Structure 1
Amino acid sequence: MTRQPNDERDPKQSTAKDRQLNDFTVDDRGQKLTTNHGLRLTDTEHSLKAGDRGPTLMEDFHFREKMTHFDHERIPERVVHARGFGAHGYFQVYEPMTKYTKAKFLQDPSVRTPVFVRFSTVAGSRGSADTVRDVRGFATKFYTEEGNYDLVGNNMPVFFIQDAIKFPDFVHAVKPEPHNEMPQASTAHDTLWDFVGQNTESAHMIMWAMSDRSFPRSYRMMEGFGVHTFRFVNEQGEAHFVKFHWKPVLGVHSLVWDETQKVAGKDPDFNRRDLWEAIESGNYPEFEFGVQLIKEEDEFNFDFDILDPTKIWPEELVPVKLIGKMTLNRNTDNFFAETEQIAFHPGHVVPGIDFTNDPLLQGRLFSYTDTQLTRLGGPNFHEIPINRSVAPVHNNQRDGMHRMTINRGQTSYHKNSLSGNTPEPASTAEGGYEHYTEKVEGRKVRQRSDSFKDHYSQATLFWNSMSDVEKDHIVSAFHFELGKVQSKEIRQRVVDVFSNVDEVLAARIAEGIGAVPPADPKPSPVTLVSPALSMMNSAKSPLTRKVAVLAADGFQEAELSEVTKAFKDAGIVADLISIRQGPIKGQDGREVEANQSLLTADSVLYDAVYVAGGRKSVDALLAHPKPAVFVKEAFQHFKPIAAVGEGADLLLAAGVGAKAVAPADAVDPAAALAAVPGVVVAQDASALGSFSEAFIAAIAEHRHWARVL
């Protein structure tokens, strides 16, 4: 798919935001070089000198302008969520939500509301890798006709703390330690776990962070959550408490820990590259928008406080109602101008959406504006093109750094008579925002409600809801993270904290880090489970999965053509990998292009591996040291593996299913391979139809955890 500049895109597919951005978009192709002020230049290769070997002259205004701009090209990175990647798209509601909210963008199914989404890691700097163990940001800016609405969330529905005043403490603890600025983009160090041991409200979030949710396979396969409790308010002034969800159509899937470490070296841009390439190829990511709703009169009908940001509303108790879909269909034209300069704020709401007394949310309403003032150079960051509202903006804030609007008129205050008292406030009937009327009373105190004091039951719920495989991964995560902690006292304290979640879990953690386990550990008496929390129950699809196809000169051309066609029909992306890049010849002499070599490709960058048949091709792969390692690593990461004919020899050489395959003199090895979970083989090209069907089904499963390694 060839990218088109804004002015060449199909106008039927463009949104109001796209059309607005067109006014700020410049196509430099075929144009003459100028200064920032429009002066045409004859040369930008040489500074102005006194003689060709003489000193540079101060009068060289072009050199000074060019260098000064370069010196100031970087803006401060975000304190958190520094490493991010964004894309444009649109949102459409399924049905009018009039019963619950008067927000206009949630009423008309025929209206496409423009959106910009920024995905991010939290702890690392801009230069860190995509695949580290971390929470992922999922921030969406809706450019609605009533103004911008920002849904600023994460890929986990809860948070580490209950009160925003502790946010600086948490971030200081999770960031590199101040005495040596290590480790980068990692929670495996003393200060973070000291914080966890001292702040037990973090227990639930830590369970999420130690799960495989911490390293998504793709941003396209990652849930999003608003985290906080908000309010929907309808035209009649009736309110519902609401939590927001993004459900990826492709399901929720993750990498495995060993993969994340290797991918960070092979391609630190793994998640952002995946998103970019999917959109460029027309495989547009889709997320369904869901809401959980609680009537005001039911606020206290649960055994948890619905305003506590360290708690979920279990979907089995409060179902998620899917009310719309978001499609991301356009990459940015300029990363800095759009992704880096976009400014989100949970306080950017529209009529029909309001806040609650969630103490973490209340603090964020202050923090976001404050940080944008520093990061984007002043109070006019809303005028940067990517941040501009598509709704008209009229107020009396006229000055400040980087002002881009030229307001006419004598007055810049309210009330006034010289301009007819305009701009004037709008009534609610005219779309004016009105805060929900809530009775609030109480003494000024620095304390927290007793209803926030349960720090463990939902952490136990999360643990109970995991499959055995997911539980094993959580325990391994604790072993790695705490294994990097130097203080034995901190390691022991964390074990003691999690004994309140589940004593068996705490004992398993202690076993791997040299800590003292609980005496006679027993499972928690809390037996509730929430199947929605396990990724094992997520949707499964082969769409957009990437398959590494291993072949060399002498491959079976007809077989390869038929299998890759089946991949394409199923929405799977096939990448041909050979000993070298460039054309390779099949048995019949026809050539195909190998996109990657064994040097530039790696199994951790793919979802599955298929070894093409052909004696000469397979012998060439067997003679090279890397193909067997490529297959073996994919097998160890529980990925689907397939081969046709002689290709099975490479699987055997890689040790695929070695524990399940009997010696060659006892049973046909190829037949035994087919019994290994997630391994699909065909003796020859006569069964390619059923072979492709079985392999595509195996790819849709994502991982094959029943495999014996």
Structure 2
Amino acid sequence: MSKRVLTTESGAPVADNQNSATAGVGGPLLLQDQHLLEKLARFNRERIPERVVHARGSGAYGYFEVTDDVTDYTYADFLNSVGKRTEVFLRFSTVADNLGGADAVRDPRGFALKFYTEEGNYDLVGNNTPVFFIKDPLKFPDFIHSQKRDPFTGKQEPENVWDFWAHAPEATHQITWLMGDRGIPASYRHMNGYGSHTYQWTNEQGEAFFVKYHFKTNQGVRSLSAEQGAELAGKDANSHQTDLLQAIERGVNPSWTVHVQLMPAADAADYRFNPFDLTKVWPHKDYPLQRVGRLVLDRNPENVFAEVEQAAFSPNNFVPGIGPSPDKMLQGRLFAYADAHRYRLGVNHTQLAVNAPKAVADGANNYGRDGVMAANAYARSRKNYEPNSFDGPVETGRPLAAPLAVNGHTGTHEAPAHTKDDDFFQAGELYRLMSEDEKGRLVANIAGGLSQVSRDDIVEKNLAHFHAADADYGKRVEDAVRALRED
């Protein structure tokens, strides 16, 4: 059986892939060696800019299956009947570290899910925690700068981390999550996922509901202690990638049970705290979990770069029956995510296989054209403007979701105050749910970082947040920090 012929990028056969062309035996290289120049130039361009956040990631394909009727709440087509399956791609990631970072570190995990629905792609971009550190996107670059490597020292600095948190009391709830027992998942399979943000569902009657998504792992929640995480990261920096890959290859397909919390839109204005505040959860006693379906991962990517690194998720990729809420962090991400991919991958990144919608055979039906790496060329008979008289794609006239009411004057406003808005109460509630052993590990994890901060005023500001959340919480952290600083 004859072997395939090695070719250049232009398809020409390669005569010699072992020796560069030279001016005589042992002479200098020749500029005319097209194969050498092309090979080196392409090698120089193998890497694209990594994500500023969520750089280190793993992913897999699978399906979402509806198990419970939710048609009273949304007319989304992929949710319209029990038993219906939709292909998905799920990307897990750490947040703060770079592409070469270790998996088993204390960091939130991204949980980004792409549904390839019959009405277009729906992207649900969340984390493995139901809350976040900040509530306004204007602070996101500052927050990430404080968590990433310091420009001078080239490493993450506790001084920067805790200084930012000292000035962000709303971060106390997420800090309590992150420094607690679930801060280092044992694997991607053994953690929950959350939409985190508040979204909107709209039913056929035009009634609107605000919704939060919960993905409960069917493998059970398993986490690592700080010592176990450090040991595993040292042994195998790719531990979570290895686990996910091997589990699916063995046919041990990870799955999650998908639930939602649903709030009638009319409840939001008078709810006791701002329901669109990303630093808070909705208590289950107010809005119980309602099962929707199950998520199963059953196929590994063939090429990590092409499918995991080039996977592009944007929370503004909605489908009919689902839309945004007034959540300010979500509103900021509606722009920022898509713009990040236009920078990293180019304006035509939605034509890549992992990102292309499966709802239409030849890609998205729109009038965008050209740009770098344009794959879908316009046929001679297709008109490149709208409206037109030549049967081009047309608008539906039907909004994807119910409109959001707005009022008042433009300006830089703080979020409206609700009767029970507070930056510390839910952090205290979470602390009081913990066992004594869990509290001890939480305090040790916080004190380990905070004790390394050199300035007393930064330490005191952070201690005040823990005292405000719970008196015992604050005292134990203060005592632990003092003991470590005195050593």
Per the alignment, residue 38 of structure 1 pairs with: 11
Q: Matched residue of 1:41: which SS?
A: coil
State the alpha-carbon separation in 2 of the partners of residues 258 and 484 from structure 1.
18
CA contact (8 A) 1:154 1:225 kept: yes
The CA deviation string for residues 203-234 of structure 1, in whole angstroms up to 9 with x for no partner, is 11111111122100111011111111111101
Number of residues paired by the alignment? 478
> Would you say 1:456 and 2:424 are equivalent positions?
yes
CA contact (8 A) 1:491 1:515 kept: no
Per the alignment, residue 152 of structure 1 pairs with: 125
Cα displacement (A) at 1:505: 1.2
The 4+ residue runs of structure 1 with deviation greater than 3 A are none
State the alpha-carbon separation in 1 of the partners of residues 366 and 270 from structure 2.
43
Could you tell me which of 106, 121, 129 is aligned with 1:133? 106
Per the alignment, residue 472 of structure 1 pairs with: 440
Could you tell me which of 299, 312, 329 is aligned with 2:268? 299
1:30–1:124 CA distance, 2 compared to 1 (3 A): farther
> Would you say 1:425 and 2:398 are equivalent positions?
no
> Would you say 1:176 and 2:145 are equivalent positions?
no
Cα displacement (A) at 1:415: 2.1
Per the alignment, residue 164 of structure 1 pairs with: 137
RMSD: 1.8
Cα displacement (A) at 1:94: 0.6
Could you tell me which of 356, 372, 387 is aligned with 1:401? 372
Q: Matched residue of 2:469: which SS?
A: coil
Per the alignment, residue 290 of structure 1 pairs with: 259
Cα displacement (A) at 1:467: 1.5
The CA deviation string for residues 527-567 of structure 1, in whole angstroms up to 9 with x for no partner, is xxxxxxxxxxxxxxxxxxxxxxxxxxxxxxxxxxxxxxxxx
CA contact (8 A) 2:207 2:402 kept: no
Could you tell me which of 164, 179, 189 is aligned with 1:220? 189
Question: What residue identity is the alignment partner of 1:108?
Answer: S
Cα displacement (A) at 1:394: 1.1
Per the alignment, residue 11 of structure 1 pairs with: none
State the alpha-carbon separation in 2 of the partners of residues 162 and 176 from structure 1.
23
Cα displacement (A) at 1:96: 3.2
Per the alignment, residue 336 of structure 2 pairs with: 367
CA contact (8 A) 1:131 1:264 kept: yes
1:30–1:487 CA distance, 2 compared to 1 (3 A): farther
CA contact (8 A) 1:95 1:107 kept: no
Cα displacement (A) at 1:296: 1.9
Per the alignment, residue 228 of structure 2 pairs with: 259
Cα displacement (A) at 1:437: 2.2
Per the alignment, residue 116 of structure 1 pairs with: 89
Larger radius of gyration: 1
Per the alignment, residue 104 of structure 1 pairs with: 77
Cα displacement (A) at 1:317: 2.6
Question: What residue identity is the alignment partner of 1:79?
Answer: V
Q: Matched residue of 2:468: which SS?
A: coil
Could you tell me which of 408, 419, 424 is aligned with 1:442? 408
Cα displacement (A) at 1:43: 2.1
CA contact (8 A) 1:492 1:515 kept: no
CA contact (8 A) 1:149 1:350 kept: yes
> Would you say 1:327 and 2:296 are equivalent positions?
yes
Question: What residue identity is the alignment partner of 1:416?
Answer: N
Question: What residue identity is the alignment partner of 2:443?
Answer: V
> Would you say 1:91 and 2:59 are equivalent positions?
no
1:509–1:30 CA distance, 2 compared to 1 (3 A): farther
1:54-73 matches, cutoff 5 A:
54-73=27-46
How does the TM-score come out when normalised to structure 1? 0.66
CA contact (8 A) 1:132 1:260 kept: yes
1:98–1:410 CA distance, 2 compared to 1 (3 A): closer
CA contact (8 A) 1:153 1:226 kept: yes
The CA deviation string for residues 72-126 of structure 1, in whole angstroms up to 9 with x for no partner, is 0000000100000001111111133211111111123333211111000000000
1:97–1:435 CA distance, 2 compared to 1 (3 A): closer
> Would you say 1:412 and 2:381 are equivalent positions?
no
CA contact (8 A) 1:498 1:505 kept: yes
State the alpha-carbon separation in 2 of the partners of residues 508 and 30 from structure 1.
70
Q: Which runs of 5+ in 2 are unaligned?
A: none
> Would you say 1:381 and 2:349 are equivalent positions?
yes
> Would you say 1:269 and 2:235 are equivalent positions?
no
State the alpha-carbon separation in 2 of the partners of residues 95 and 407 from structure 1.
42
The CA deviation string for residues 630-663 of structure 1, in whole angstroms up to 9 with x for no partner, is xxxxxxxxxxxxxxxxxxxxxxxxxxxxxxxxxx
Aligned-residue sequence identity (percent) comes to: 42
> Would you say 1:502 and 2:470 are equivalent positions?
yes
Question: What residue identity is the alignment partner of 1:114?
Answer: E
1:357–1:333 CA distance, 2 compared to 1 (3 A): same
Range with greater deviation from structure 2 (296-305 or 237-246): 296-305
Could you tell me which of 192, 197, 203 is aligned with 1:234? 203
Cα displacement (A) at 1:364: 0.6
> Would you say 1:143 and 2:116 are equivalent positions?
yes
1:280–1:444 CA distance, 2 compared to 1 (3 A): same
Cα displacement (A) at 1:301: 5.1
Q: Matched residue of 2:453: which SS?
A: coil
Structure number with the bigger relative contact order (C-alpha 8 A, sep ≥ 6) is 2
Cα displacement (A) at 1:153: 0.3
